[in-house]
Amino acid sequence: MKRLATAFAIATLLAFGMQAAWSQSPTLKAVQDRGELVCGSNGQLAGFGMPDPQGNWTGFDVDFCRAIAAAIFNDPTKVKFVPLTAANRFTALQSGEVDVLSRNTTWTMSRDTTLGVDFAAVNYYDGQGFMVRKALKVSSALELNGASVCVQQGTTTELNLADYFRSNNMSLKTVTFATLDEALKAYDSSRCDAFTTDSSGLYGSRLLLSNPSDNIVLPEIISKEPLSPAVRQGDDSWEDIVRWTHYAMVDAEELGVTKNNVDGQLKSPNPEIRRLLGVEEQFGQSLGLSNDWAYRIIKFVGNYGESFERNVGQGSPLKIARGLNALWTKGGLQYGLPIR
Amino acid sequence: MTTISDTPRSYLRQVPVGRLPPPTTQAGLFGWLRSNLFSTPGNIALTIICILFIAWAVPPLLRFFLIDAVWTGTDRQACLASATNPQPGACWAFVRMWISYFVYAFYPIDQRWRVDTFFLALSFGAGWLLWPSAPRRDLGAVYFFVVLPIISFVLLSGFPAIGLAAVPTSLWGGVLVTIVVATVGMVVSLPLGIALALSRRSHIPVVRLLSVTFIEFVRGVPLITVLFMASVMLPLFVPERFSPDKLVRALIGVALFASAYMAEVVRGGLAAIPRGQYEAARALGLGYGRMMALVVLPQALRVTLPNIVNTFIGLFKDTTLVFIVGIFDFLGTVEAARGDPKWASPFTSVTGYVFAGLFYFICCYGMSRYARSVEAHLSRAGRS
């Protein structure tokens, strides 16, 4: 099915001709004509993309789309969110149903090279992690020798787990379950010493336990799941807009520009801040936007750290640690590219 | 001289004795228990097992869902174990908080009266049509099949010219989508299914072949495949602006799928009508259309009523599959909400699923009870 869909996607792209745009992005033009951005998101992943009881979309991936809308329209509400499943997300992007896919999607080589999509920038470094009971007095995954681990069956998670234990010469007892819910229930009833899944989900799972505070997430990340927003291949100018939306948010955090102080920062003498906020030079125009594009993003959505903490970090029930997603200056991997 | 019979004899009873109550072993509660629950050793064993099972299962369920359940609260703290409630049960507060999302999903809050109006108009129409002794049911049919679809369409998707803001179907969801998909599926599949069944028995080869091909093709693939085709493949073949709305695609898929099943159900009914009925109708000089409408179909549909309702109930539950293609039906909204970290607790998911189960059970059981009453009504009418 997936291979067939891929083949069709490629055939369609060839048949309709890759829309090449050099100066003006056709996607940007379509978005502007329509008056709203169409954003494909998850719809049921806590902290990343899901509705609140009033039906408003919230989450880290959702905020990213709001940031793009803020940059284009100066209005973060001009986004239509389309809930997508893991199965139909790429088709929705390829067929033009959505302008940008911001839905916890891992950037892999095969997806990048064969699906007719381009990944803009890694906005969340995810990866598989472990949760154990505090009573076990373990502080590193390397101390899990001989542990029994609850894991979902038939996933890459299960394979990564086996690889990790083997490469570290540790013995492992896996206890597998058909669904993640069951695996978590078993861990909660002490059938295994540890529970493993992607670390972004690990924090949400912890809240479902009977005593969340008796459990800790170990610092090791044993697999690579770089999550990135994606766009259709062939519209490089649009990809630029999506990519620089992310870097503007990271740059803003590096420079200490926040939602609250951005108006004051307009008078800052720091040339980097002046370029970011469009006080000097014309980087916005080179994207086909107005020069205060980044100012709008920060004004309405905030910088990268603010969005992170609000949706998945300390400001949210998930309380995910920044970890790999801290700024490079603080031991993480988020590195803002220079705007100049 | 007196006869024996005239002589009053004190030992002869003049008034019959009042009836004695039946022996306690045969009547009353004890008798009922004895004849129904404890008549044979096998029955005694079964009864004891059942009582033990009920005693084992029901009190904890009651405790979990009613007695220890949490009914009010503003976030997950209410549903977690605490000093006042050391062993919390179902988290109904979560359902209460999310109920409007379950019903309307993303439908704009200030426009939700339109959904309510739609529900009212729909239940009015359904009541009119389904209540056997309602007045002017012919008008009811016109209302239900012609007026109501137009009203619903204008109400739900909007008509800016008369001041109803447009609401794209991507904002629809919850119970609204479940009801819309199920209703459209039922309303379309019955007539279409009858037409397909008649074509399948037609004497014109082309018509028969087309009908057989359609029915066998649709029945030969799972509904999920049809939905996937409609939502994943279709957009690749046609440019985005020409491809129909996502919900419309799913509606068409569900309706066609249900029609194929309905066609087979109706065909079974047609096959059960004896040849004599056809011949008698012909002998009366009825043409094909009137023969079918006046003689054959009324009998065939009466025979197949239980199966038709069975198909409807199946269809109602199949609507949950639209979730696969990214449409948030009722179950989809429950799925989404149970991941809410604000409400995450060990029993949030269970409560959500039980709530969804109750909803589907009430709807399906209602359909089934209605069908039973119509069957009873028809079989009385059939005898007279």
Tell me what pLDDT residue B241 has.
Answer: 65
In this structure, is residue B79 part of a structural domain?
no
Q: What angle do CA B75, B354, B309 make, to 5 degrees?
A: 140
Residue corresponding to tokens 């009353």: B28
What chain A residue is nearest to B88 in terms of C-alpha separation?
A210
Domain extent at residue B43: 28-67
Whether chain A has a CB inside 8 Å of the CB on B158: the answer is no
Give the whole-angstrom CA distance, residue B328 versus residue B320: 9
Indicate the number of domains in chain B: 2
In this structure, is residue B78 part of a structural domain?
no
Query: Residues of A with CB below 8 A from B109's CB?
Result: 54-55
E strand spans, chain A: 37-41, 50-51, 57-58, 79-83, 100-101, 117-119, 124-126, 128-133, 148-152, 173-177, 194-198, 215-217, 225-227, 230-232
Tell me what pLDDT residue A21 has.
Answer: 36
Length of chain B in terms of residues written:
384
Give the whole-angstrom CA distance, residue A333 versus residue A319: 19
For the cut 90, the answer to whether the pLDDT of residue A208 exceeds it is no
β-pairing verdict for A148-152 and A194-198: parallel
Question: What secondary structure letter does DSSP report for B170?
Answer: G
In this structure, is residue B228 part of a structural domain?
yes
Mark yes or no for CB contact B339/A50 under 8 Å. yes
Give the whole-angstrom CA distance, residue B282 versus residue B280: 5
| B373 SS3 class | helix
Same domain, B263 and B190: yes
Query: Residues of A with CB below 8 A from B341's CB?
Result: 46-47, 204, 207, 316-318
Choose among B296, B303, B308, B300: nearest CA to B370. Answer: B308
Contact yes or no for B324/B222 (Cβ under 8 A) = no
Mean pLDDT of A171-191: 90
In this structure, is residue B172 part of a structural domain?
yes
Mark yes or no for CB contact B100/A210 under 8 Å. no
Tell me what pLDDT residue A22 has.
Answer: 43
End-to-end CA distance of chain B, in Å? Answer: 64
ipTM of the complex as predicted: 0.76
In this structure, is residue B97 part of a structural domain?
yes
Same domain, B202 and B312: yes
In this structure, is residue B120 part of a structural domain?
yes
Give the whole-angstrom CA distance, residue B238 versus residue A168: 52
Which H or E element spans position B285? Answer: none
Residue corresponding to tokens 């109550």: B21
Question: And the tokens for B123?
Answer: 């239940």
Give pLDDT tens digits along chain B (384 positions): 556 666 667 777 788 888 887 777 777 787 888 888 888 899 999 999 999 999 999 999 999 999 888 899 888 888 888 877 788 889 999 999 999 999 998 888 888 999 999 999 999 998 888 887 878 888 888 898 889 999 999 999 888 888 888 888 888 889 999 999 999 999 999 999 999 999 999 889 999 999 999 999 988 889 888 888 877 777 777 776 666 788 888 888 899 999 999 999 999 999 999 999 999 999 999 999 999 999 999 899 888 988 999 999 999 999 998 887 778 899 989 988 888 888 888 888 899 999 999 999 999 999 999 988 888 888 776 654
- Shortest distance between the Cα of B346 and any Cα of chain A, in A, equals 5
Same domain, B119 and B49: no
Same domain, B56 and B188: no
CB atoms closer than 10 angstroms to residue B287:
10
Query: Residues of B with CB below 8 A from A52's CB?
Result: 101, 340
Tell me what pLDDT residue A19 has.
Answer: 39
Ranked by mean pLDDT, the top range of A147-161, A231-245, B106-120 is A231-245
Same domain, B48 and B118: no
Which one of B87, B91, B320, B342 would you mutate to disrupt binding with A, by most A Cβ within 10 Å of its Cβ?
B342
Mark yes or no for CB contact B235/A95 under 8 Å. yes
Which one of A97, A179, A187 would you mutate to disrupt binding with B, by most B Cβ within 10 Å of its Cβ?
A97
Query: Residues of A with CB below 8 A from B336's CB?
Result: 43-44, 50-51
- Shortest distance between the Cα of B202 and any Cα of chain A, in A, equals 38
Question: And the tokens for B200?
Answer: 């399948």
Residue type for position B80: L
β-pairing verdict for A128-133 and A79-83: unpaired
Provide the pLDDT confidence category of residue A1 given band limits of 50, 70 and 90. Answer: very low
Same domain, B360 and B211: yes
Tell me what pLDDT residue A205 has.
Answer: 86
Tell me what pLDDT residue A297 has.
Answer: 97
| Alpha carbon B330 to chain centroid, angstroms | 14
What chain B residue is nearest to A88 in terms of C-alpha separation?
B232
Of B76, B232, B336, the CB nearest to A50: B336
Whether chain A has a CB inside 8 Å of the CB on B202: the answer is no
Q: Rounded to whole angstroms, what are the CA distances from A123 to A77, A107, A225, A334, B163?
A: 21, 11, 11, 8, 42
Whether chain A has a CB inside 8 Å of the CB on B349: the answer is yes
End-to-end CA distance of chain A, in Å? Answer: 45
Give the whole-angstrom CA distance, residue B67 versus residue B348: 16
Whether chain A has a CB inside 8 Å of the CB on B328: the answer is yes
Which one of A54, A232, A310 would you mutate to disrupt binding with B, by most B Cβ within 10 Å of its Cβ?
A54
Choose among B127, B191, B115, B188: nearest CA to B156. Answer: B115
Same domain, B34 and B125: no
Same domain, B152 and B61: no
Same domain, B49 and B143: no
Whether chain A has a CB inside 8 Å of the CB on B259: the answer is no
- For B252-276, give the DSSP string: HHHHHHHHHHHHHHHHHHHHHS-HH
Domain-terminating residue out of B17, B50, B67: B67
In this structure, is residue B8 part of a structural domain?
no
Sheet holding A215-217, edge to edge: A173-177, A148-152, A194-198, A128-133, A215-217
Choose among A161, A144, A51, A23: nearest CA to B333. Answer: A51
Give the number of A-B residue pairs with CB atoms closer than 8 Å.
108
Give the whole-angstrom CA distance, residue A152 versus residue B111: 42
Give the whole-angstrom CA distance, residue A21 versus residue B363: 53
Strand partners of residue A130? A196
Provide the pLDDT confidence category of residue A78 given band limits of 50, 70 and 90. Answer: very high
In 3-state terms chain B splits into helix, strand, coil percentages (rounded to 5) of 75, 0, 25
In this structure, is residue B129 part of a structural domain?
yes
Query: Residues of A with CB below 8 A from B101's CB?
Result: 51-55
- Tell me the domains of chain A and their CATH numbers: 2-15+22-125+226-322 (3.40.190.10), 128-223 (3.40.190.10)
Same domain, B39 and B129: no
Same domain, B178 and B39: no
pTM of the predicted structure, to 2 decimals: 0.82
Give the whole-angstrom CA distance, residue A224 versus residue B177: 38
Same domain, B49 and B188: no
Query: Residues of A with CB below 8 A from B237's CB?
Result: 12
Provide the pLDDT confidence category of residue A274 given band limits of 50, 70 and 90. Answer: very high
Mark yes or no for CB contact B346/A54 under 8 Å. no
Query: Residues of A with CB below 8 A from B107's CB?
Result: 55
Give the whole-angstrom CA distance, residue A172 versus residue B15: 93
Mark yes or no for CB contact B341/A207 under 8 Å. yes
Give the whole-angstrom CA distance, residue B332 versus residue B320: 7
For the cut 90, the answer to whether the pLDDT of residue A241 exceeds it is yes
Tell me what pLDDT residue A292 has.
Answer: 94
Mark yes or no for CB contact A8/B236 under 8 Å. yes
Q: What CATH number is attached to the domain comprising B183?
A: 1.10.3720.10
Tell me what pLDDT residue B384 has.
Answer: 44
Give the whole-angstrom CA distance, residue B230 versus residue B358: 30
Query: Residues of B with CB below 8 A from A85's CB?
Result: 324-326
